[in-house]
Amino acid sequence: MANEKKTTASGARASQSDSRSADNRPNPVWFKPVMFGFMLLGLAWIIVFYVSQSVYPVPSLHSWNILIGFGIMFIGFLMTTRWR
């Protein structure tokens, strides 16, 4: 009976360490370029909007272009929370 408790306890510890090691895996190679790409794309979107005096990137959206640019950048910043 005591051996059953030890086996169960050690099995629980093993499953916990497996889940921790799965969370601590390094990111794939594409992760960092995509993360920085989103941040730079959002910045470029906003800069193009201001420099073109509201003509580009999407003229029919007017000031919503700023929100779209910040939204794209926000996706990149959210990705930084998962970067290892």
Domain of residue 58: give its range. Answer: 2-82
Q: How many separate domains does the chain show?
A: 1
Q: What is the pLDDT of residues 9-31, one digit of tens each?
A: 555 565 555 556 667 889 999 99
Give the per-residue pLDDT at 1. 58
* Mean pLDDT in residue range 41-68: 92
**3-class SS of residue 57:** coil
Give me the percent of the chain exceeding a pLDDT of 90. 55
CA distances from 41 to 37, 72, 75 (A): 6, 7, 11
**3-class SS of residue 30:** coil
Cβ-based neighbour number of residue 49 at 10 Å:
23
- How far apart CA 64 and CA 54 sit, in angstroms, is 10
The pair of three-digit structure tokens given for residue 84, joined into one six-digit string: 């290892």
Give the per-residue pLDDT at 58. 87
